[in-house]
Structure 1
Amino acid sequence: MQLRPIVDTPGISIGYDEANEWLYVDWKGEHDADSSWAACGLMLEILRAFPCAKILNDNSNITRTTMQLSARSLEWVAQMHAAGLRYLAWVLPRQLISRQSTEGVVLDIEAPTVCTFDDLASAFGWLQRQGNAG
């Protein structure tokens, strides 16, 4: 995956994959609620600046997180959809505490289409198979 770098911070890197026409978001290190919301805000800002229908959201490099999905998370997803996001492939952190509740919330999301994965290769393949139409 060759990426055009857009932003690189200690907690998150975002690049544009020109071949696949999507954003790749690589979360890194430890995240708490504050750092997670800051990263989500950055993702929304980047999506608005670099509109695309797909995001490969890779949380596999998170070493520790206390973030859990909430009503605020669903509002953020709706904002991402309004900004043009149609498909989100989400590689879950290896150390996810509340996997079952996370996947339950994801199932309730009507738009964009969100699918969770345990590994980057599966997420990549799924996202490639999704259409680009909004």
Structure 2
Amino acid sequence: MEDQVELKRVFGDVYFRARRDQNTSIVYAHWYGSQAVETVKAGGYKFLEMIKEKPYRKLLNSNEHVIGSWDLALEWAQNEWAPQMRKAGLRYLAYVVPTTIYASMTMEMLIQRIDDEFEIRNKEADAEAWLLR
């Protein structure tokens, strides 16, 4: 797998990008637009592939540009994705919280569900700085 991946919708608009940064040992991920269960799972499985192939302990997951809620995928993220990521080696998870209220509420619900799996920070200003420590 490449050090950078991009997932697109049927009509070509990007909804997910992720890249490994070998200098910082961080996987950076950015989500765009509205998300559905299928897009959340596709991006989540890409994270998992990247971590399994080349173990990185840190993930900066930016939802800054997400619109709306994706709460239908929360159960999957809690029960399948988070435990698999933990098993693959992920330990530190920093979230950049979206500006829209519904997307922010969904992020907060996810953090509450998986905070026992990882060390999590979700303040935009210091998310990357925390991972770099």
Give the equivalent residue in structure 1 for 2:10: none
Give the equivalent residue in structure 1 for 2:5: 7
Distance in 1, matches of 2:101 and 2:38, equals 17
Matched, 1:83 2:88: yes
Q: Give the CA RMSD over aligned residues.
A: 2.2
Within 5 Å, which residues of 2 pair with 1:40-119? 40-62=44-66, 64-68=67-71, 70-75=74-79, 76-97=81-102, 99=104, 102-103=107-108, 105-108=110-113, 109-117=115-123, 119=124
Q: How far off is 1:33 after superposition?
A: 2.1
Structure ranking higher in helix proportion = 2
Distance in 2, matches of 1:81 and 1:7, equals 21
Distance in 2, matches of 1:107 and 1:99, equals 12
Give a deviation string over 1:18-55, Cα, whole Å, max 9, x none.
22111111112221222112111111112111211000
The number of residue pairs the alignment matches comes to 123
Distance in 1, matches of 2:15 and 2:97, equals 15
Give the equivalent residue in structure 1 for 2:41: 37
What amino acid sits opposite 1:112 in the alignment?
A: F
46 and 65 in structure 1: CA distance in 2 versus 1, 3 angstrom threshold? farther
* Identical aligned residues as a percent: 25
Give the equivalent residue in structure 2 for 1:19: 23
- Segment drifting more, 105-114 vs 82-91: 105-114
Secondary structure at 1:70 match in 2:
helix
Give a deviation string over 1:106-134, Cα, whole Å, max 9, x none.
245212212222x2x421111112xxxxx
Gap runs ≥5 in structure 1: 130-134
